[in-house]
Structure 1
Amino acid sequence: MRIVVAMDKFKGTVTAFEACAAVARGLHRARPDIEVVELPMADGGDGTLDVLLHHGYDQYLIPLLGAHGVPRSARVARQGRTTLIEVAEICGLGATEPTAEMAEHADSTGVGEAIVDALDVGASEIEVALGGSATSDGGAGMLRGLGARFLDAQGRPLAAGGSALTGLARIDWSGLDPRLTTIRLVGLRDVDSPVLGPVGAARRFGPQKGADSEAVDRLETGLAQFASVVAHMPPPTGFVAPDTPGSGAAGGLGWAILLLGGSLTSGGDRIAGALGLDEMIASSDAVITGEGRLDEQTLMGKSPAVVIYAARRHARPVAAVAGQNRLGEDPSRFGLAEVLSLECLASGTARNPALTVTTLERAGAMIAEGMVRRISASASMMAVPSPTKGQ
């Protein structure tokens, strides 16, 4: 039996590589005869750069500004004339516990600086992996790093961060780097959220970045003001509505990419194509996927959804291993024959890498010892709707 283990990260605990390796060890421990193919996954969030570096991209260190204006070095990946920039690498949350003040002032200027660096080395295509940001500034910082000017009513430059956008009165686009019109700019999104509203950049994701209710309100007001000014003073490429699916990715960075004439695509699909996921699954007997949490948001194009859909196309049974399972008691509704939840197998795996690894190994062994048979028997239950796709 050949099993593809296509796991994403368990955020804050283990990487996609570590998760795949742990499940594979469990499979082999219980059934040494199983052939295991490890395929660490990503969907445009943090970890995307590491996955592509494992598949032919080269790593470069460049100087830029972090989320809070501190100069630092960050990694980018290059292959030929394509550059991959990971937002989480430049202005991500990192290991620091975020505060409301940090959430309001976090800035994406470093992403713009990384794009300028890519232009300087002759990139013809720039991909920006949008997940895992600490920012909620609508990409204003990125645009500033590319030459746009954000001004208040007195013509003074605005401070950095999403809350400062409440004072935005005018945008001067004249200084935008002209080379942006000569390249293909693509945002790899892992969510379909818009910029504004209850499921938008500030209200849905602001609390994850440290924002309390008052900070969320200020960030939402700032983003709304940004949208209003852009509607009256659009960039040279024209106005793009802030309710475009995926525009709220990375605190609104998705929208800024669209305003530059770029496009958005599913990060999960892009990475799956680069890794040859379809071909791997077609030549397998079963598939195991998973990440830290499985819930309704997972089905909006995150890695497990991409894997599930690929397995369905090839009529291969698929099981999932997650830190937390919030998909309910009937996994077949989502194309899954079985779901193992680490929180049900062991207490305290969250933020405990060693325990997470050993529990993932245990989950792999459980699949090898008995669940493979049930997965195979349930292949006929795979007819489920495909994961939601954005544009």
Structure 2
Amino acid sequence: MHILIAPNAFKNSLDAAQVALAIEEGLKQSRLDCTTECFPIADGGDGTGGLIVERCKGKTVKQSVRDPLGREIASSFGLIGDGKAAVIEMADASGLRLLKKEQLDPMWASSYGTGELIKAALDKTVKRIIIAMGGSATVDGGCGILSALGIKFLDDAGRELIARPKELAKMARIDASGIDDRILNCEVVILCDVDNTLLGTQGAAAVFGPQKGATPGEVELLDSFLANFAAISKTQTGTDMVAIKHGGVAGGATAGLYTWLNAKLVNGIEYFLELIGFDEALKRSDLVITGEGSIDRQTLQGKGPYGVAVKAKALNLPVVALAGNVSAEGDEELKRYFDELICINEEGFDIAEAIKNTRGNLIRSAISVGNSIASKII
């Protein structure tokens, strides 16, 4: 039996490669006689860019940029496909992981540094820029990125505003005459892992603002700023940012780049699996094991394990999913794609303890899976 191990990262615990190795170790300790292949996946979330560059045997280019608070940091981006495509991880320039908890300030945080990475990629004369937007610390609608590329945001007196939400609340007009026109001749592809729209209770500010440090009052201010940005953009471009599927990803940056850079918004896991040749790995497999921190109804909206399961089921392969938490909600729908849903933690687990013990719990669960399969074969 050949088992393909294709998990997503377990948030705040292990990256996808570490998860895959833990599962592989558990299988090797079990009674099951099998071969394994580790194939860590990503769906547009934090870590996607690095996995793409690694799987495509690309190279990394170092670049100095500004972090969400405007401080100079060392960052990087990847080049793949003989240097014709750049891979940018928004979190590497504008990410939550660059800030301490007490530094989170979505009213001031800017995506400008990600725009600097894009400019650096354009200097390499790439024809395509692939952006993974997970893990951002910003709710600026991508205005920081656009500012780095030459777009100006003006108040009603024609004064240029700093591209930060607190200042952009005064936005009255957008001047795109100075845009770096190289970006308009480059295909921009954005990998999305959720389908939230820009505004409202399921929008960028309401859903993702609090995890980026926004108070309830700031959530309202951010939503109002994004609504004004959308209204001005619609007047000037004719594009309705509010209606865009995936428009709420990365603090609305997807909506801003779709509108002003003609970016393509794609399902992250589908694009990732196609780009790195997942189908070939499936063809040589008898069973697939996937997983991530939580498996629930949101998984069915295009998260990594769902994308893996859809492809596996197309080849009639059984799929086992391991997760730190498995929700009963949407259980019947989940069972259409996952033959077994296994929570790696004991009932009534403490979250902090579970995160600390993720590797051990994955190994233990994989041993159990291997032994269960072995007993059925015997």
Same fold (TM over 0.5): yes
2:275 maps to 1:274:
yes
CA contact (8 A) 2:91 2:133 kept: yes
Partner of 2:133: 130
CA contact (8 A) 2:5 2:290 kept: yes
Report the AA paired with residue 191 of structure 2.
L
CA contact (8 A) 1:192 1:248 kept: yes
CA contact (8 A) 2:313 2:337 kept: yes
Q: Any idea what SS the aligned residue of 1:309 has?
A: helix
Residue of 362, 368, 371 corresponding to 1:369? 371
Q: What is the correspondence of 1:52-201 to structure 2 with a 5 Å cutoff?
A: 52-55=52-55, 56-79=57-80, 80-94=83-97, 96-98=99-101, 102-201=105-204
| Runs of 5+ unmatched residues, structure 2 | none
CA contact (8 A) 1:323 1:350 kept: no
C-alpha separation in 1, matches of 2:244 and 2:374: 41
2:325 maps to 1:317:
no
TM-fit CA distance, 1:96: 4.3
Report the AA paired with residue 299 of structure 1.
L
Tell me the TM-score normalized by structure 2: 0.92
Report the AA paired with residue 256 of structure 1.
G
> Could you report, residue by residue, the CA deviation over 1:256-314 in whole angstroms, capped at 9, with x for unpaired residues?
22121121111111111123222212221111111111122221111111011011101
CA contact (8 A) 2:139 2:205 kept: yes
CA contact (8 A) 2:241 2:256 kept: no
C-alpha separation in 1, matches of 2:14 and 2:368: 20
Size of the aligned set, in residue pairs, is 372
CA contact (8 A) 1:240 1:258 kept: no
> Could you report, residue by residue, the CA deviation over 1:167-208 in whole angstroms, capped at 9, with x for unpaired residues?
111111111001122111111111111111211111111112
C-alpha separation in 1, matches of 2:30 and 2:332: 26
Closer/same/farther in 2, CA of residues 143 and 154 from structure 1, 3 Å limit: same
Partner of 2:247: 247
Closer/same/farther in 2, CA of residues 111 and 7 from structure 1, 3 Å limit: same
What RMSD, in angstroms, separates the aligned Cα atoms of the two structures?
Answer: 2.1
C-alpha separation in 1, matches of 2:222 and 2:166: 5
TM-fit CA distance, 1:352: 6.3
TM-fit CA distance, 1:100: 8.9
CA contact (8 A) 2:49 2:131 kept: no
CA contact (8 A) 2:247 2:253 kept: yes
TM-fit CA distance, 1:31: 3.1
Partner of 1:384: none
C-alpha separation in 2, matches of 1:171 and 1:213: 28
| Runs of 5+ unmatched residues, structure 1 | 377-391
CA contact (8 A) 1:331 1:339 kept: no
Q: Any idea what SS the aligned residue of 2:3 has?
A: strand
Report the AA paired with residue 77 of structure 1.
G
> Could you report, residue by residue, the CA deviation over 1:318-337 in whole angstroms, capped at 9, with x for unpaired residues?
11111111244557534111
CA contact (8 A) 2:203 2:248 kept: yes
